Structure 1
Amino acid sequence: MNARFEVLAGAEPFSAKGDGRGALVLHGFTGCPQSMRPLAEAFAKAGFTVELPRLPGHGTAVEDMVNYRWSDWTEAADAAWHELADRTDSVVVAGLSMGGSLTLWLASRYPQIRGIVLVNPAAEADDFTAFVEGAKAVLAAGEHYLPAVAGDVADPNSKELGYDRSPAAGLISLVEGIAELKAGLPDIRIPALLLHSPQDHVIPPGSAELLRKTLGGPVDHVELERSFHVATIDYDRDEINRRAVAFAENVSA
């Protein structure tokens, strides 16, 4: 982390020491660990050893995130996975949005992962063509930011701790990263729990459809009818926690 950017209150990473079952939990683009803290704590309560890292450039200031790309986020996810795998007997990985993309990236490299939990993941790069064109136009104009994508929550009593703008270069890098994943999705044979909000205003429905059709392993698909994109802190959060923990317990047995 750039030393001149302080971590926001509530954006800190989370760890919990439990038994030999590990759970790695990954947050989304321009968000921070706050959005995944309830799920991480649910895993911890169930006895899992949990790691919820803060991805580079997140949870500080949007000016910090300008400096980071997909390769930085995959490197951080990879390091977190190795660290957790080295001290547990098995690992499940759960991710929201870009965290779901990183979960797929890990699953494509480490078939020993027991299961993956995908909450409104970004997976279909073709759906983001207009976003990428807009980001390139912003950069060509000498600017750095697009409108915010954080905060898509239906529950008025819940708020995501995220940035009020989105770094254009980072978004382009993210889409390029998920584009590279697409061809390898059929080779991911790890059991998956796919939790999808039909009223997601950030990730188009093509990502959930793509994963249902192309992932090589069994996919348990659940629709989150009451929640928007950041479903982990929205109306369906308890349902997500219950289903994710039950899934993780089953594949880790």
Structure 2
Amino acid sequence: MQLLPGAEPFRHDGSPTGALLCHGFTGSPQSLRPWAERLAGRGLTVSLPLLAGHGTRWEDLQRTGWQDWYATVDRELRDLRARCEEVFVCGLSMGGALALRLAARHGADVSGLVLVNPAATFPRAQGYAVAALRHVVPSARGVISDIAKEGVAESGYPRVPLRAAYELRSLLGLVRTELPQVTQPLLLLHSRVDHVVPPADSAVVLGAVSSADVTEHVLEDSYHVATLDHDAERIFSETDAFISRLSTRKTARDGT
């Protein structure tokens, strides 16, 4: 099956400090590739997988469920932990929800979380509609490329399969119940204007996790896909500082 441009997974072998990046619903690794490359440039061991059903055709996503998406990142985390002494997990949008579930279920195997515009809720009216229509209406208009920066586009699906949207709704409901189990240090960055995930979702996350070490930043110049937007460099710099502060080891770039 041919992949969309930039949808290829990204991996880099580096130091015993690992980073797992999780992309969003209907998106692909392309939305996080600059972030992953920045971490690889610091010498970290990096994994940016392609979630099941993503990066090809929207019809392929229709045949997957949230367990398949989570299984992808769960497998990558286990692989990184087998090779690294510590692993930080980063996520955008639904990728943020997947990262939170990894933290809740894997505990100390996750050293810290970096979330950008994490998804935590599903609009109630849309949720009712998806539940009723998913068996008769195959898809709806897509939600990719919510980016303020001109000339930049996200590689993803132009349509959203309603069966997959229902699966997303189920995933987010489950993750909300698991938020109190999240105790790891947390860096959360969210856009003031986001046309896909309401900024209030970040407040839901911050209000429910049990993390004692929490840092929040508001992104003033970006929309939902902030990792490709005006504030991308700030995201990368804050991630660098967060991992450097918490890491028990120096990266290969630091000469160890």
What band does the TM-score fall into relative to the shorter chain? over 0.9
Which of 49, 66, 70 pairs up with 1:70? 66
1:13 and 2:20 matched: no
Match 1:239 to one of 234, 239, 242: 234
> SS where residue 83 of structure 2 aligns?
coil
State the shift of 1:184 in Å.
2.4
> CA contact under 8 A between 1:98 and 1:121: conserved in structure 2?
yes
Task: State the Cα distance separating 1:137 from its structure 2 match.
Answer: 4.0
* 8 A Cα contact 2:101 2:178, kept in partner: no
SS in 1 for 2:217: strand
Residue 160 (structure 1) aligns with: 154
CA RMSD of aligned residues (A): 1.2
Q: Where do residues 142-161 of structure 1 align in structure 2 (5 Å cutoff)? A: 142-161=136-155
Q: Deviations over 1:98-156 (max 9, x none)?
A: 1001000100011111100111011134xx2122223234325x221121111100011
SS of 2:88 mapped into structure 1: strand
Moved more, 5-14 or 53-62: 5-14
The range that moved more, 21-30 or 203-212, is 203-212
Conserved 8 A contact 1:28-1:97: yes
Unaligned runs of 5+ in 2: 249-256
TM-fit CA distance, 1:181: 1.9
1:171 aligns with 2:168: no
Match of 1:80 in 2: 76
- The partner residue of 1:229 within 217, 224, 238 is 224
Task: Give distance in 2, aligned partners of 1:195 and 1:53.
Answer: 21
The question of 1:27 aligning with 2:7 is answered no
Choose the corresponding residue for 2:113, options 113, 116, 128: 116
Give the aligned residue type for 1:92. Answer: F
- Post-superposition Cα deviations, 1:151-178, rounded to whole Å, max 9, x if no partner, equal 1000112110011111111111111112
Q: Which runs of 4+ in 1 moved over 6 A?
A: none
Q: Structure 1: how far apart are the matches of 2:84 and 2:126? A: 39
Counterpart residue number, 1:96:
92
- 5 Å-filtered alignment, 1:209-224, equals 209-217=203-211, 218-224=213-219
Q: % of aligned pairs identical?
A: 41
Q: For residues 53 and 103 of structure 1, what CA distance do their matches in structure 2 show?
A: 13
Give, as a single letter, the amino acid of the residue that structure 2 aligns with 1:181: V
Describe the SS at the equivalent of 1:67.
coil
Q: 2:199 maps to what in 1?
A: 205
Contact 1:138 1:145 in 2 (8 A): no
TM-score using structure 2 length: 0.93
The TM-score normalised by the length of structure 1 is 0.94
Contact 1:138–1:146 (Cα < 8 Å) also in 2: no
Contact 1:135 1:146 in 2 (8 A): no
Q: Which amino acid aligns with 1:106?
A: L
Aligned to 2:181: 187
Is residue 23–residue 31 contact of structure 2 (8 Å, CA) maintained in 1? yes
Q: Which amino acid aligns with 1:238?
A: E
Q: Distance in 2 between matches of 1:157 and 1:224?
A: 19
Following TM superposition, by how much is the alpha carbon of 1:237 offset from its aligned partner in structure 2, in angstroms?
0.4
Specify the code of the residue in structure 2 equivalent to 1:200.
D
Does structure 1 retain, via aligned residues, the 8 Å contact 2:179–2:208?
yes
Tell whether 2:134 aligns with 1:139: yes
Write the distance in 2 (CA, Å) between the matches of 1:58 and 1:221: 29
